[in-house]
Amino acid sequence: MPAPAERPRRSCCPVACTLDLLGDRWTLLVVRDLFRGVDRYSAFARSPEGIATNILADRLDDLVANGIAERFVPTGQKRARYRLTDAGRELEPLLRAVADWGLKHISGTEAKLAPQPK
């Protein structure tokens, strides 16, 4: 996968490069929602974490630009949807590991990775 076009790399370290792409406070939450079946902009905006619409648009654009998600318009519809690419789906073990760690070490957390109603 190519490096983000607009951002220079801090180093060639794969951890640093992955964090540059996924390490802000919102990107993995958008990926989480994609795994839950959220595919419309309006549904992402209703996330319980309250992501601002300008940040949401930026994160979706970054995920698409970096090959983690794709934007598509289903036949016969006018509004775009989003879905994970193969590379995006490969993030599932990482997301599960983060969730498992949080469940173990942060009291009051609960896993809700079930698909969301559309």
Give the residue extent of every domain in the chain.
14-105
Q: What is the pTM of this model?
A: 0.86
Beta strand extents in 11-104 (DSSP E only):
69-72, 81-84
pLDDT reported for residue 1: 46
Q: Comparing C-alpha atoms, which of 34, 33, 14 is closest to residue 84?
A: 34
Cα separation, 63 vs 59, in Å, equals: 6
Q: What is the pLDDT along the chain (118 residues), one digit of tens a residue?
A: 444 556 678 899 999 999 999 999 999 999 999 999 999 999 999 999 999 999 999 999 999 999 999 999 999 999 999 999 999 999 999 999 999 999 999 999 988 755 555 5
What confidence score (pLDDT) does residue 111 get? 81
Distance, in Å, from the CA atom of 116 to the CA atom of 110, rounded to the nearest integer, reads: 16
- Which CATH code of 3.20.20.370, 1.10.10.10, 3.40.50.300, 1.10.3720.10 fits the domain covering 14-105? 1.10.10.10
